[in-house]
């Protein structure tokens, strides 16, 4: 019986250590695009247009984080990324309240908490 307890404790310790390692290392277990806005036709950066803003949910061992990805519409796997500036997202509506103002100089993103981020076009155009 004592041997079974030692084995169970060892397994639990190994699971805990693995979870802590995965979380600390920032390893992502899965990703999901949860929201997307694309560049309007009246704006042209003349550099691999059009572009889209995606909010990506990254599932990690002890929770999830969100990032913003600005990428070409034809290649959404590569682009300019930054952390979503809200400490938490409680619903899909929080994400749907995100707006984007596309200008010739770049993109101004506003989140549901009224946080504004400006991304200059140099950060995401011309194969960046």
The reported pLDDT for the residue numbered 30 is 81
d(CA 119, CA 48): 17
Residue 64 lies in a domain: yes
Residue 128 lies in a domain: no
The reported pLDDT for the residue numbered 128 is 54
What is the mean pLDDT of each successive set of 10 residues along the chain, which is 128 residues long? 81 80 73 91 89 90 86 86 82 87 94 91 80
Residue 32 lies in a domain: yes
Q: What are the CB-based long-range contacts (under 8 Å, 24+) for 112-115?
A: 112/86, 113/85, 113/86, 115/85, 115/86
Residue 63 lies in a domain: yes
d(CA 79, CA 83): 13
CA angle 32–36–39, rounded 5-degree value: 145
Count Cβ atoms below 10 Å from residue 99 Cβ, excluding itself: 13
Domain that holds residue 62: 28-123
pTM for the model: 0.76
Residue 5 lies in a domain: no
Residue 111 lies in a domain: yes
The continuous run of DSSP H or E covering 58 comes out as strand 51-60
Residue 23 lies in a domain: no
Query: What's the total number of domains in the chain?
Result: 1
Residue reference for tokens 């307890």: 5
The reported pLDDT for the residue numbered 102 is 95
Residue 53 lies in a domain: yes
């Amino acid at each position: 019986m004592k041997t079974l307890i030692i084995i169970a404790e060892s397994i639990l310790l190994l699971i805990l250590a693995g979870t802590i390692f995965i979380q600390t290392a920032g390893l992502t277990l899965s990703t999901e695009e949860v929201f997307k806005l694309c560049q309007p036709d009246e704006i042209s950066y003349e550099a691999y247009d059009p572009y889209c803003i995606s909010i990506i949910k990254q599932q990690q061992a002890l929770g999830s984080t969100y990032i913003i990805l600005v990428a070409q519409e034809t290649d959404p796997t590569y682009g300019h990324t930054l952390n979503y500036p809200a400490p938490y997202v409680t619903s899909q509506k929080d994400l749907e309240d995100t707006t984007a103002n596309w200008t010739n100089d770049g993109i101004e993103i506003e989140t549901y908490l009224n946080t504004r981020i400006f991304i200059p076009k140099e950060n995401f155009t011309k194969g960046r």
